[in-house]
A and B are shown apart, each in its own frame.
Chain A
Amino acid sequence: MASSKRKMNRRTAMTEIARGTGAVCLGGFSLVALIESTDRADARAIRPPGALPEDDFLAACVRCGLCVEACPYHTLSLAEWGEEAPVGTPFFTPRETPCYMCRDVPCARACPTGALDREIPSIRDADMGVAVLVGHEDCLNYKGMNCSICVRVCPIRGDAISLEPGEFNGRRIMVPTVHSSHCTGCGTCEKHCVTGHASIRVLPRDLGLGGDGRNRAGRET
Chain B
Amino acid sequence: MIGRLISDNRRQSVAARGLLRSHKWWLLRRLCQISVLGLFMLGPLAGIWIARGNFGASRIAGVVTLADPYILLQGIFGGTSPALPVVTGAIIVALGYLLVGGRAYCGWVCPVNVVTDTAFWLREKTGLTRDRKLDRRTRLAILGGTLLASAVTGTVAWEFVNPVSLLQRAFITGIGLGWAIILAVFLLDLFVSRRAWCSHLCPVGAFYGVIGRASVLRVSAAGRDACTDCGACFNICPEPHVIVPALKGKGSPLILSGDCQNCGNCIDACPVDVFHMSGRLGGGAIPKPQG
Contacts and interface: CB of A to CB of B under 8 A. Distances in A.
Say whether A and B bind each other: yes
Interface of A: 1-3, 20, 23-32, 34-36, 38-39, 55-56, 58-66, 68-70, 77-78, 80-83, 86-88, 110-115, 118
A77 B59 contact: no
A62 B178 contact: no
B46 interface: no
Contacts of B174: 77-78, 80
A55 B176 contact: no
A59 B57 CA distance: 14
B92 to A, nearest CB: 12
Given A31-B158, A78-B174, A1 B146 contact: no
Nearest to B162: A88
Interface of B: 43-44, 49, 52-54, 56-59, 65, 67-68, 71-72, 75, 78-83, 85-86, 89, 137-138, 140-142, 144-150, 152-161, 165-166, 169, 172-178, 180-181, 241
A180 B153 CA distance: 30
A56 B153 CA distance: 10
A31 B89 contact: no
Q: Is the interface of A mostly helix, strand, loop or mixed?
A: helix
B178 A113 contact: no
A63 B56 CA distance: 6
Of the candidates B57, B89, B138, B166, the one having the most CB atoms from chain A within 10 angstroms of its own CB is: B57
Given A2-B241, A58-B154, A110-B59, A82 B176 contact: yes
Nearest to A86: B160
A62 B181 contact: no
Contact of A27 (B78, B80, B142, B165): B142
Given A24-B148, A63-B159, 17 more contacts: A1-B140, A23-B144, A24-B144, A28-B147, A28-B149, A28-B152, A29-B149, A32-B157, A35-B153, A35-B157, A59-B154, A63-B169, A64-B53, A82-B176, A86-B155, A87-B159, A113-B57
Nearest to B145: A27
Q: Which 8 A-B pairs have the closest CB atoms?
A: A27-B145, A80-B176, A59-B78, A28-B148, A114-B83, A23-B141, A64-B57, A81-B178
B146 A59 contact: no
A69 B144 contact: no
B177 A82 contact: yes
B57 A112 contact: yes
17 contacts: A1-B137, A20-B144, A35-B160, A36-B153, A39-B160, A59-B78, A65-B56, A66-B59, A69-B43, A81-B180, A81-B181, A86-B155, A111-B83, A112-B86, A113-B67, A113-B75, A114-B86
Contacts, number: 186
Of the candidates A55, A114, A115, the one having the most CB atoms from chain B within 10 angstroms of its own CB is: A114
B149 A113 contact: no
B141 to A, nearest CB: 4
B149 A31 contact: yes
Nearest to B81: A114
Contact of A78 (B85, B173, B177): B173
A26 B160 CA distance: 17
Nearest to B77: A59
Contacts of B178: 80-81, 87
B164 to A, nearest CB: 11
Given A62-B75, A65-B172, A118-B83, A31 B177 contact: no
B44 to A, nearest CB: 7
Contacts of B166: 81, 87-88
Contacts of A78: 169, 173-174
Nearest to B148: A28
A39 B155 contact: yes
Nearest to B71: A62
A62 B56 contact: yes
B89 to A, nearest CB: 6
Nearest to A1: B137
A88 B68 CA distance: 14
Given A65-B172, A66-B58, A114-B81, A27 B144 contact: yes
Contacts of A55: 154
B53 A66 contact: yes
B119 to A, nearest CB: 21
